[in-house]
């Protein structure tokens, strides 16, 4: 059975990583236009770097939860028949044991060099706010967070759509269904014959599009579903 699992911020919530749209979420203190668009980075790179520096530093204080571990067990069981695509830029899937994770919106621990387009590890020896060492590949000093902002094209869309078109089952975990193209994956999978299941704390904006839905914490629902 070919399975595609899409995860969102809700799968990391029980690890202590703030979601975007829940109470006290990331958008509480920030406007998307000020921290998550290419125009914002052009206009005020220091503000954008500060937003991501804080989230990157917080990564060292959180641990994967039972939902992440359960998806790693699912990868063990299904092998190549599982395609895990996440909207999250944290590394909790990897730290929870998943070895093949498609980060469609990029990764906090990666940097994108505007000089040579290389994706390089985020420099550990970062100086002050936004004071970054040069790109290890080309020496340019123009590194940006390797994150897909609003108005930018998510990574690997062809690969994602290919897996959705072949899926027997599409499972969405911990996402509000507020942002496209990820929010449209359920319809695409369904149109290609997949069964669809939503596992979320509460009905998402796209809940009505799923064949089945279970509501509750991912740390309970995902292990129940996997095991």
Among positions 3, 179, 186, 226, the unique one binding ligand BV8 when judged by CB under 6 A = 179
CB 5 within 8 A of CB 73: no
96: contact with ligand BV8 by CB under 6 A:
no
Among positions 19, 98, 172, 196, the unique one binding ligand BV8 when judged by CB under 6 A = 19
Q: Residue 145 annotated as binding?
A: no
Determine whether 211 is an active site residue. Answer: no
Stretch that binds ligand BV8, among 15-23, 40-48, 70-78, 130-138 (CB under 6 A): 15-23
How many other CB atoms are found less than 10 A from the CB of residue 72? Answer: 19
In angstroms, the CA 212 to CA 197 distance is 5
Among positions 124, 151, 158, 227, the unique one binding ligand BV8 when judged by CB under 6 A = 151
Q: Which of 49, 68, 69, 105 is catalytic?
A: 105
CB 3 within 8 A of CB 81: yes
Stretch that binds ligand BV8, among 92-100, 118-126, 187-195, 198-206 (CB under 6 A): 198-206
How many other CB atoms are found less than 10 A from the CB of residue 195? Answer: 16
Site string for ligand BV8, 28-47 (x = CB under 6 A): --------x-----------
Q: Residue 178 annotated as binding?
A: no
How far from the centroid of its chain's Cα atoms is residue 211's Cα?
Answer: 23
Nearest to 50 by CA among 171, 104, 154, 131: 131
- The stretches of the chain forming alpha helices (DSSP H) are 10-13, 26-29, 32-35, 38-43, 45-59, 66-78, 92-95, 157-166, 185-191, 218-226
Secondary structure class of 213 (helix, strand, coil): strand
In angstroms, the CA 163 to CA 19 distance is 26
Residue nearest to ligand BV8 (CB): 10
Count of positions (residues) in the chain: 227
Q: Residue 23 annotated as binding?
A: yes
213: contact with ligand BV8 by CB under 6 A:
no
In angstroms, the CA 226 to CA 207 distance is 20
Q: Which residues are annotated as a binding site for Zn(2+)?
A: 113, 116, 135, 138
Sequence ranges of the binding site for NAD(+): 8-27, 87-90, 174-176, 200-202, 218
Binding site for ligand BV8 (CB under 6 A): 8-10, 13-14, 19-22, 25, 36, 87, 89, 105, 147-154, 157, 174-176, 178-182, 200-202, 204, 217-218
Q: Which residue numbers are catalytic?
A: 105
Where is the binding site, in residues?
8-27, 52, 55, 87-90, 113, 116, 135, 138, 174-176, 200-202, 218
């Amino acid at each position: 059975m070919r399975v595609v699992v899409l995860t969102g911020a809700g799968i990391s919530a029980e690890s202590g990583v703030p979601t975007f749209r829940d109470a006290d979420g990331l958008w509480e203190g920030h406007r998307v236009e000020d921290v998550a668009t290419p125009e914002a980075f052009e206009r005020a790179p220091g503000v954008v770097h500060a937003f991501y520096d804080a989230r990157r530093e917080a990564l060292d204080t959180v641990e994967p939860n039972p939902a992440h571990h359960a998806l790693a067990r699912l990868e063990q069981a299904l092998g190549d028949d599982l395609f895990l695509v996440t909207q999250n830029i944290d590394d909790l899937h990897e730290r929870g044991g998943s070895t093949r994770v498609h980060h469609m919106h990029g990764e906090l621990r990666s940097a994108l060099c505007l000089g040579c387009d290389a994706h390089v590890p985020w420099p550990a020896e970062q100086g002050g706010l936004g004071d970054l060492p040069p790109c290890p590949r080309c020496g340019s000093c123009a590194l940006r967070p390797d994150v897909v902002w609003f108005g930018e094209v998510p990574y690997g869309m062809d690969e994602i759509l290919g897996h959705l078109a072949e899926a027997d089952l599409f499972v969405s975990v911990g996402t509000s269904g507020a942002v496209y193209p990820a929010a449209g994956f359920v319809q695409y999978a369904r149109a290609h014959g997949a069964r669809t299941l939503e596992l979320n704390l509460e009905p998402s904006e796209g809940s009505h599009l799923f064949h089945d839905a279970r509501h509750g914490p991912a740390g309970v629902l995902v292990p129940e579903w996997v095991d």
